[in-house]
Structure 1
């Protein structure tokens, strides 16, 4: 049995140490809109008026530290941008905020920026290429790659 092809992951809810610090990143740098607050312990954020794509809360994590290396947990959350221009805009906002990248890759099927949020959660900002442009092997299967992403070309997009 397989899932319906329209199945999507709807949202991510992150435990954070400091709600205002996380809002400064997800709202003020990345550009998500605040849709609802739950007292002083949680806030929902979205793009385009959806009820929420990201939930942030301090219910069990106020003042906490990130998990140490070598432990289980979230590797990264991936945020899909609709166009290359939108991904370039995100890179410009990160640069204006002097926010460091931990990586940037061209995977053939997508272009991706990698960074950490204020709580050390991995964040991938990416855009997919049209499926007709995805690299394929001789049998027609996907042939993803990891190549250096030209950041200056992305900023010019």
Structure 2
């Protein structure tokens, strides 16, 4: 399967609660979330955009007039998480990120889930994960 920027669809079963991020460049951030992560622009105006999957907003990007990057390890959002429905969906994302050469900050097996971590152009942390099935039996 050949993946390129602009033709990578985020799974329609992806899930996160609504997140709002302040960004330094709205255009740059929109391009990142579209091309690297498969989000769609649902609404946009001069200084904000609503992104997600068709019919569901997942992320609001806002470009304030004067945004200052926070020093590393300061207070604020550590990362937001996107839950995928299956291991196959997670593998699909990892394959796409490798194809478009997106830096990955790390990966983890948390026993109850498998996750990868990356950062957007403003350093906002993103976790993309899938839950393992619940164990069966007593």
TM-score by structure 2 length?
0.81
Give the drift of 1:70. 3.1
Q: Distance in 2 between matches of 1:88 and 1:29?
A: 14
Of the three residues 58, 73, 76, the one matched with 1:73 is 76
Q: Distance in 2 between matches of 1:127 and 1:48?
A: 21
Which residue number in structure 2 is paired with residue 28 of structure 1? 35
Of the three residues 25, 28, 47, the one matched with 1:41 is 47
> Which runs of 5 or more residues in structure 2 are unaligned?
1-14
Of the three residues 115, 120, 124, the one matched with 1:121 is 124
Deviations for 1:76-106, whole angstroms, at most 9, x for unmatched residues? 0111111111111111221122111111011
Q: Distance in 1 between matches of 2:93 and 2:68?
A: 27
Give the drift of 1:113. 0.3
2:58 pairs with 1:53: yes
Structure number with the higher helix fraction is 1
Please say if residues 65 and 119 of structure 1, whose CA atoms lie closer than 8 Å, have aligned partners that are also in contact.
no
Match of 2:118, SS?
strand
Please say if residues 15 and 60 of structure 1, whose CA atoms lie closer than 8 Å, have aligned partners that are also in contact.
no
Alpha-carbon distance change, 9 to 103 in structure 1, aligned in 2, over 3 angstroms: closer
Give the drift of 1:60. 4.5
Q: Aligned residues, how many?
A: 123
Structure 1 residues 1-157: aligned runs within 5 Å: 10-37=17-44, 39-50=45-56, 52-61=57-66, 64-132=67-135
Q: Distance in 1 between matches of 2:54 and 2:18?
A: 14
